[in-house]
């Protein structure tokens, strides 16, 4: 071992002498110093840890607590839809990332079985009237004293009677959020709204029937899809926007009103995307005339799906609105 160590030291000395004779000693030192300076100036970045940011869980306690604050007069569908309403043209949903799937599974709300559904259902159906009936102007727009920017031109009764949601809106609905089936809540509607109607065809059909709809087409997403998207406020209206509109029309007011009015404005308000898209279709087709109730054959040349979507959101093209839009385009 001593002999090996002696040879090793001798080799080191010989190599150092060779480097010095060749003039490489200073170069190696300089290069080493430069490299060290570069490292000091640009330290290698620390590896980032992957962070999985999950949306906060929605505890069922929120529902239970909210019910405690309801004096049994509290009150179903951003870019928005109406139960079996909007989305007139199909669009391919983006494939969620693996991380997104993980976050979705982790943050999926799971209400506790102990939630008092009887109290919840009672709260949905035992609210009291808090506002007068709407007024109507010369163009057929309705006005609500509490929300002056909310100006639909179709009443809930008209939407139901003329044909909407493929006849399925009030069908028995299983809520994955509440883990229970909601049924027969259509019976809270005023009797005159459904008098003479085939309830099984116009309200509670298990399957979508496009022929029921005023414009003869099926469009939009199901209430289940609305619920999965987080657009349902279960404390007030388990079926979504149209159920909210029915109750709002009758005079109920609740904390969800501003959100629902805002959704209506984004869809079919003065600058709503579906309203503008439909009016543009009229201009593109060179059509300047439209009748109030759709009896004009010209109306059928414009997208029936867009018409049906707007109809679900309580708005229909009227001549005055079409005339104004033509003026803006000219």
| pLDDT tens by residue, 47-86 | 333 322 233 333 333 333 333 333 322 233 334 444 443 3
For the chain, what is the mean pLDDT? 74
* Distance between CA atoms of residues 273 and 283, nearest Å: 15
- φ, ψ at 56 (rounded to 5°): -60, 145
pLDDT value, residue 249: 97
Of 298 and 208, more confident: 208
Region of 53 on the Ramachandran plot (φ > 0 left; ψ -120 to 50 alpha; else beta):
beta
pLDDT tens per residue across span 177-192: 888 888 999 999 999 9
pLDDT value, residue 177: 84
Distances (CA, A) of 26 to 12, 20, 22, 32, 33: 17, 8, 10, 10, 10
Distances (CA, A) of 122 to 38, 65, 216, 237: 72, 15, 36, 12
For residue 17, what pLDDT band results from cuts at 50, 70 and 90?
low
pLDDT of residue 241 exceeding 90: yes
């Amino acid at each position: 071992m001593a002999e090996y160590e002696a040879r090793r030291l001798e080799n080191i000395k010989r190599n150092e002498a060779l480097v010095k004779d060749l003039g490489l000693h200073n170069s190696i030192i300089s290069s080493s110093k430069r490299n060290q300076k570069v490292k000091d100036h640009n330290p290698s970045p620390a590896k980032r840890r992957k962070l999985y940011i999950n949306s906060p869980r929605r505890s069922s306690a929120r529902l239970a607590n909210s019910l405690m604050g309801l004096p049994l007069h509290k009150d179903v569908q951003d870019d928005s839809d109406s139960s079996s309403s909007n989305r007139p043209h199909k669009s391919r949903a983006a494939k969620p990332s693996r991380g997104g799937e993980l976050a979705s599974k982790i943050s999926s709300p799971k209400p506790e079985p102990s939630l008092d559904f009887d109290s919840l259902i009672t709260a949905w159906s035992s609210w009291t009237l808090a506002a007068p009936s709407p007024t109507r102007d010369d163009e057929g727009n309705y006005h609500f004293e509490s929300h002056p920017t909310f100006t639909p031109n179709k009443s809930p009764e008209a939407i139901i009677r003329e044909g909407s949601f493929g006849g399925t809106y009030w069908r028995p609905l299983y809520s994955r959020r509440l883990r229970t089936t909601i049924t027969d809540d259509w019976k809270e509607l005023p009797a005159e709204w459904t008098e003479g109607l085939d309830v099984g065809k116009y309200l509670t059909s298990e399957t979508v029937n496009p022929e029921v709809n005023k414009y003869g087409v099926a469009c939009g997403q199901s209430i289940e899809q609305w619920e999965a998207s987080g657009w349902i406020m279960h404390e007030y209206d388990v079926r979504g926007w149209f159920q909210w509109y029915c109750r709002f029309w009758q005079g109920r007011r609740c904390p969800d009103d501003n959100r629902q009015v805002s959704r209506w404005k984004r869809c079919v308000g003065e600058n709503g995307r579906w309203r503008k898209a439909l009016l543009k279709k009229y201009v593109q087709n060179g059509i300047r005339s439209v009748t109030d109730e759709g009896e004009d054959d010209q109306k059928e040349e414009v997208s029936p799906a867009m018409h049906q979507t707007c109809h679900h959101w309580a708005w229909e093209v009227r001549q005055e609105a079409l005339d104004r839009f033509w003026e803006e385009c000219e």
